[in-house]
Amino acid sequence: MTAHLIDGHGCARALLAGLADEVAALRTAPVLATLVAGGDHGSALYHRRLQALAGRLGIGHTARELPPDAGQQQVLDAVAALNADPAVSGILLLRPLPPGVDEAAVFAALDPAKDVEAVHPENAGLLALGVPRFVPPTPAAVFHLLDTWLDDVGEARADFYHRSRIVVVGRSNTVGRPAVALGCAREAVVESVDEWADRTRGLGRHTRWADVLIVAAGRPGLIRAEHVTPGTVVIDVGINAVRGPDGRVRTVGDVDATSVAPRARALTPVPGGVGPVTDAWLLRSTVAAARNRTEPSLQEVS
């Protein structure tokens, strides 16, 4: 068996089809504001991609940069300024935050109506209840890719999810936990595991049961052939910077694609898998946030 590579770029293009026309129809152009406080390789890539894509779609973009040693109050003040700015439609907080900054407190300080990543407690609660204002972009991308792949191979979505066991590796508030909620919304059996299972040498005991394996642990090459049962659909969310023997930095996922691909039924590549769809979803949510200011009854659906 050789895995079918799921094309994130093609899926993103389809997702964005017509979005520029929606932007043009709005009375005021949407603006996405990114708050950069610290940052790493993955967030820097994310920021550059979003800036370029937003420009092509007619979506405004502004960046507020804070020093890597910014304190809690500096970050909260920057969030408050973006909340109060009437030109800003959506706010994206890039992580990791500087050491000592309380991430939960910063999430709670966001204006829920501008929180296009759905990390504010109100938005996280709406997602858990199945009535999201916004769907977090990365887990939304994961399931959009899965849904699109099922359509492409001619499998009924409901039938597939009802008989499938989804295992999510990683429990972050931005990917792992909301991915569990989206899997439950599709009425699959969902299991959540994290690094503790790996530390106790038990990770494979969970992942080998998966029909769909979603990996968002932030550890390059964590999932290898021995963790995957033949026929599993593997969605790799990881974005990790790895320096090769030649000294060049390359981006790799959390899955060792070379060993896993011969066993998997389908696999998302890194780069070119979840990333482009995440970008597209975030910008769609930014447009929805701008539209909701004039038509507040509208909500995004998963």
Q: Where are the domains of the chain?
A: 26-125+279-287, 136-276
CA atoms within 13 A on the CB side of 259: 13
Q: How confident is the model at residue 298 (pLDDT cuts 50, 70, 90)?
A: very low
pLDDT digits (tens, 9 = 90+) for 70-127: 999 999 999 999 999 999 999 999 888 888 999 999 999 999 999 999 999 999 999 9
pTM beyond 0.75, yes or no: yes
C-alpha span between 155 and 200 (Å, rounded): 37
- DSSP string for 98-149: PTT--HHHHHHHS-TTTBTT--SHHHHHHHHTT--SS--HHHHHHHHHHHHH
Confidence band for 49, pLDDT divided at 50, 70 and 90: confident
For the segment 180-185, the average pLDDT, to the nearest whole number, is: 96
Mean predicted confidence (pLDDT) in 164-177 = 96
Q: Is the pLDDT of residue 296 over 60?
A: no
Identify the residue whose tokens are 């000592």.
100
CA distance 270 to 7: 10
Is 136-276 the same fold as 26-125+279-287? yes
Task: Pick the most confident of 40-54, 92-106, 139-153.
Answer: 139-153
Asked if the model's pLDDT at residue 302 lies above 60, the reply is no
CATH of 136-276, one of 3.30.350.10, 3.40.190.10, 3.40.50.720, 3.40.50.880: 3.40.50.720
Residue 19 pLDDT greater than 80, yes or no: yes
| Tokens matching residue 235 | 């969605």
Q: What is the pLDDT of residue 246?
A: 87
According to CATH, the superfamily of the domain at 26-125+279-287 is Leucine Dehydrogenase, chain A, domain 1 (3.40.50.10860)
